[in-house]
Amino acid sequence: MFLDVQVDNIAVAGHWERPDPRVLERFADVPAANVGDALERMSVLDGGVGLRTRRDRLVGFALPVDVRSGDNLAIHRALDEARPGDVLVVNGRGDTTRALIGDLIGEIMISAGMVGAVVDGAVRDVDALSRQGLTVYARAVTPAGPFKDGPGSVGGPVAVGGVVVAPGDLIVGDADGVVVVPTAKIEQVSERVGRVVGNEEALRARILEARARR
């Protein structure tokens, strides 16, 4: 940690496995909507958690963090557990009065190889986060900074945007929003999503063909 503070009140889960990183390649270009369809429209975050940076593509594995409203001490501790390809997923309890992530945390995320964040709360420094190459979703943007007192936890399941996210779950986001693929369903969804895309393209072709005949 770069902060010189006590983190005794931050609970950190034991080691958990990330899925095979080759999974990320399979979902790299798949629209979030199609992933949601392959999950039978489940595990899709509510529309209040929206894209806040210019980069609009996010595919990675969840590093979940639970924080007290307006407090980001647990996020700082979580960054010590980060691995390349991780996505910071924060239950900020929907609090929009104080930003939980800004450009300094963004710098640490980049150094750790993280690809973005999903925050059920507020963020700030969104232009700087965009320049850093991160993709960040949040419920709001505010210049107000956070407290750093705790408590909180790292590596346990969290609720974000109405969806439970466990460590290592696959996060897929684009301009439409964010979908969570539970680890146990990654292979199943990977197979289904190809059929979803194929069916959509077939329907699109019929629509265009009918339009051309008019």
Q: Which of 5, 17, 158, 29 is nearest to 83 (CA)?
A: 17
- Give the whole-number percent of the chain exceeding pLDDT 90: 84
Question: Per the domain annotation, does 1 fall within a domain?
Answer: no
pLDDT of residue 212: 84
Q: What is the CATH number of the domain that holds 123?
A: 3.50.30.40
Q: What is the pLDDT of residues 109-160, one digit of tens each?
A: 999 999 999 999 999 999 999 999 999 999 999 999 999 999 999 999 999 9
Taking the complete model, does pTM exceed 0.75, yes or no? yes
Long-range pairs for 29-32 at CB < 8 Å and ≥24 separation? 30/172, 30/193, 30/197, 31/174, 31/176, 32/172, 32/173, 32/174, 32/176, 32/177, 32/178, 32/179
Query: Does residue 199 fall inside a structural domain?
Result: yes
Which residue in this structure is represented by tokens 């945007």? 161
Q: Which domain holds residue 119?
A: 10-213
**For the chain, what is the domain count?**
1
In a domain, 65, yes or no: yes
For 39-95, write each residue's pLDDT tens digit. Answer: 999 999 999 999 999 999 999 999 999 999 999 999 999 999 999 999 999 999 999
